[in-house]
A and B are shown apart, each in its own frame.
Chain A
Amino acid sequence: MIEMRDSLSKKLTAMNMLVSGVALLLAAIAVFSYDVITFRRNIAINTSLQAQIIGSNAVSPLIFNDVASAENTLSAMRVSKHIIYAGIYDTQGQFFAGYWRTGTGIPLALPAGSVGQPEFSWFEDGQFALVQMIYFDQKPAAIVYIRSDLGNLNERLKGYAVILLIILGASLAAALAVSRLSQRAISQPILKLADMAGQVSREKDYSLRALAPRDNDEVAVLVKAFNQMLREIQERDSALQESERQFRNLADSIPQLAWMAEPNGDLFWYNRRWYEFTGTTPEQMAGWGWKAVHDPELLPDVLAKWHFSLSTGQPFEMIFPLRAEDGEYRQFLTLATPVRDANGKIVRWFGTNTDITEQRRSEEALRQTEKLAATGRLAASIAHEINNPLEAVTNLVYLAQKQPANVHKYLKLADQELSRIAQITKNTLGFYRDSAALSDANISEILEEVLGLYARKLNFKNIDVTAEYGDGITITGYPGEIRQIVANLIANAIEALPANGRLAIRVSKVVPVSPLERRGVRITFLDYGSGIPPEQRKKIFEPFYTTKKTVGTGLGLWLTLGLVQKHQGSLRLRSSVQPGNTWTAFSVFLPDRPE
């Protein structure tokens, strides 16, 4: 602050003095120049006058060759201290008489070219020289040569320099005083403004305002601009505080636990629900205190993933348990995303923990329910398959009783129908095999049996089925579940197809062409139904999504996907809704053997 004050006043003072000094010097140079010119002109006039007087008085001594008289006349020059030499010459330039300030000397020769000129003058070596032709009765009678020094001029210059020095001193002193005053008028408001800025930044109080000076100069403009800036900062600050308050309200009202972390991973804020759930205090949780509410066995995994996200900037996603206040662990889906500034630099992390314990339980319950529902639907379908041959058997037995003669024929037919029933129950049993243990699953056989089960439905809609299912393609898996997968996809295709539709099924072996792929089998179900619009394709695997409200629960594909994933396989959907070329293909990949 002191330094700045010195510097500012120094600058002002130096500037004032420089201006005064330069102005003064320019004025002095002008005066000197004028004086020198005037002085020289006066010397020329005076010398010429003296030359005329001497010349007039020298004409007769020259005529009468009276040197003494001429020298006497010349001796009057003694009065003029500056005359160094005066000489009288005849019209031919021959020396006649002379005067020397020192008393004696040698006569000076007239400079070449000056003889015959009426007047010839020049400055030389700080001296003024004049050669003057003297006329008598309009005729040249004599030549006078005078040299005079400029001592007078130099004295005057010295006098002026002394005066200049005195004025310079005085004006510099005045400038110093003026700068003191201007410091008060100019630098003082600026210094006040600087003090105010310092106070604002120290106290973070943006309601302060600088006092505007009374005049309307640049400093006042500066102060106004500064105050305007403060006002805007204050507005932005309060808007920021409001948005911060809203954010905290929001963060406190969401059902998730939420938190924020520094780019280095230090957690500096948690929402209220976090503290309520964990029963901890902000002091316990600061920095890396959150480790205390994790399962110690799983913590290393969590830390490894968190450090990975911190170092790469990749969003964090993980499911892990957190300990509640009562000591019970609950499962949380944790997501954290980096918040970046305009330059893409991470300024903080924002994370949420969503309690998925209930969701997991209800998903499991849903899976069980759907399994039961699927079983129910299957039971109904099987009942139908069995009811028809049963009807035939009932009738045949009745007829056999009525017509003893034809007993053999009726019983033979009844036996055929009973074999049909046996085949149906045998196929059906496949669904209820123990699914806990891996065993050989003959895909070709499973497909054949499931198609057999749906034969009546396919026949009813007159669906043309083309199936290429190879011969005994076998993988290791859970046959009951593979049967369920196949049955669900065929049932969907039948639902999707209109009467007289076409369904193509193909089973092919998958031979890996890169180390990322696995050996296995691919089963493709292609129906030429109306196709699935793109916007439905993703949702179709979500639970409770159905386009056929009266027929399905919307769980079939979700359950099918779950079964495929249990086999570490994949389920792919492609479909076309191009008019005239609509179809849907579900393609199941199952690895040779789940790991």
Chain B
Amino acid sequence: MTLEPQAVSNPALPLLVDPNWIPKEPRHNPDDRDRTDQEKKLRIIVVDDESLIAETVAEILNGAGFEATAVFDGAAAIELAKTWQPQVVLSDVIMPGLNGVETGIKIREMIPRCEIVLFSGQAATVDLLEQARKQNHRFQILAKPISPERLISIIRASTEKPQ
């Protein structure tokens, strides 16, 4: 009997992004309005081998006024980045194939101004970041689970930096 490594998420997940959905809440922060135009232009690639996470995060970011696309592995992210030229890549770290750090380094080589944000659920990430640091690559890292509000504000803050 062959043991299939347990599937960690359901690959036959229904598409969560509702194309008709537009965020309706009024923005309470007066500064928000100033940024809305700019934010709408922000292109974000969300990478996670757990498709449910990638898709929900992309949906949340789209709802927050960004233009986010979900992909499920590092290679797909790099491929998409070539043509789509994202301003932000939000990636899981531990993934089969290319891990988040490798993916981040490759994309940064292609698009130096692209902001790379990693998010991870495990301690083993520390070793990978250490390896990256030795090659002079520093990444912002977020711990899973992260509340969607915080994620949105962090992405906003990181793109506010003068580029």
- A interface vs B, CB < 8 Å? 380-381, 383-384, 387-388, 390-396, 398-399, 402-403, 406, 409, 413, 416-417, 451-452, 455-456, 458-460, 462-463, 465-468, 550
Contact = CB atoms under 8 A, between A and B. Distances in A.
9 contacts: A380-B123, A395-B57, A402-B23, A403-B18, A413-B13, A456-B8, A459-B8, A467-B1, A468-B1
Nearest to B149: A398
Given A396-B56, A403-B21, A452 B96 contact: no
Contacts, number: 94
Contact of B53 (A392, A406, A409, A455): A392
B145 A391 contact: yes
A380 B83 CA distance: 38
A388 B92 CA distance: 10
A402 B62 CA distance: 12
Q: For the complex, would chain B's binding face be called helix, strand, loop or mixed by DSSP majority?
A: loop
B148 A398 contact: yes
Nearest to B123: A380
Interface in B1-43: 1-3, 5-6, 8-10, 13-14, 16, 18, 21, 23
B144 interface: yes
A383 B121 contact: yes
Given A387-B122, A391-B145, A462-B96, 16 more contacts: A383-B123, A388-B53, A388-B121, A390-B145, A391-B144, A392-B53, A393-B145, A396-B56, A402-B63, A409-B14, A413-B13, A452-B6, A455-B5, A465-B2, A465-B3, A466-B2
Nearest to B2: A466
A460 B56 contact: no
A400 to B, nearest CB: 10
Q: Which of A391, A456, A460, A465 has the most CB atoms of chain B within a 10 A radius of its CB?
A: A391
Interface in B48-81: 50, 52-53, 56-57, 59-60, 63
Contact of B59 (A381, A399, A451, A459): A399
Contact of B122 (A383, A390, A466): A383
A451 B148 CA distance: 32
Q: Which of B3, B8, B21, B59 has the most CB atoms of chain A within a 10 A radius of its CB?
A: B3
Q: Which of A380, A403, A462 has the most CB atoms of chain B within a 10 A radius of its CB?
A: A403
A465 B5 contact: yes
B5 A458 contact: yes
Interface residues of B, number: 38
Nearest to A377: B123
A550 B127 contact: yes
Given A383-B122, A384-B122, A388-B121, A459 B5 contact: yes
Contact of B8 (A398, A399, A455, A463): A455
A406 B121 contact: no
A380 B59 CA distance: 29
Contacts of A399: 16, 56, 59-60, 63
A63 to B, nearest CB: 165
Contacts of A395: 53, 56-57, 59-60, 148
Contacts of A381: 122
A444 to B, nearest CB: 11
A463 B2 CA distance: 12
Contacts of B9: 392
A409 B14 CA distance: 10
B94 interface: yes
B147 interface: yes
B141 interface: no
Given A388-B8, A460-B96, A465-B5, A413 B145 contact: no
A368 B1 CA distance: 37
The 6 A-B pairs at the shortest CB distance, nearest first, are namely: A387-B121, A384-B122, A395-B56, A455-B6, A391-B145, A459-B5
Contacts of A398: 60, 147-149
Contacts of A416: 10
A390 B120 CA distance: 12
A502 to B, nearest CB: 12
B96 A459 contact: yes
Contact of B144 (A388, A451, A460, A462): A388
A467 B3 contact: yes
Contact of A451 (B3, B57, B119, B127): B3
A532 to B, nearest CB: 23
A406 B8 contact: no
B132 interface: no
A246 B96 CA distance: 66
Contacts of A387: 121-122, 143-145
A460 to B, nearest CB: 5
